[in-house]
Amino acid sequence: MTYMQAHRYLMQYSIRPSVQRTAVMEYLMNHKTHPTVDEIYLALSPGIPTLSKTTVYNTLNLFIEKGAVQMLTIDEKNARYDADTSKHAHFYCGTCGKVHDIMNVNPEVFEIPSNSQFTIHSMQLSYYGTCTSCNS
């Protein structure tokens, strides 16, 4: 995924593509590891030396507001961000702290239940446990 593709993606969501914003989106598109703010900041800092963590926060909050990315609340310590909007679940390893995608979930699980009390906009399916590699 190139810088230009990230740029176009932002435009589709009516987000003015500054250098910082485009770099954050490009990073999310290329690193499907559900990074934290800190991980994004540390990864982009070398390339954009003036970058501040505030801008990363501002940027991600804007992306969420515009619906371009999803915030994952799977990890109580840090917010994590995902630009993949396809229907998939997440696994959080309590040992290494990493979040992995689980793609092979029955699609009907992602159907929104009808409920007269609530208007549902989105959902998250989160699994918790240990990576088999961490177990050893």
Task: Please report, for residues 14, 22, 25, 59, 83, the alpha-carbon distance to residue 7 in angstroms, rounded to integers and kept in the order given.
Answer: 11, 6, 8, 14, 14
- 104 burial (CB, 10 Å; 0-12 / 13-18 / 19+) is exposed
Between 84 and 103, how does the x/- string for binding to its own copies read (CB under 8 A)?
A: -----x-x-xx-----x-x-
Task: Please report, for residues 15, 37, 92, the alpha-carbon distance to residue 101 in angstroms, rounded to integers and kept in the order given.
Answer: 27, 19, 9
74 binding its own copies? (CB under 8 A): yes
Between 56 and 95, how does the x/- string for binding to DNA read (CB under 7 A)?
A: -xxx-x--------------xxxx----------------
Between 30 and 59, how does the x/- string for binding to its own copies read (CB under 8 A)?
A: ------------------------------
* Site size toward its own copies, by CB under 8 A: 39
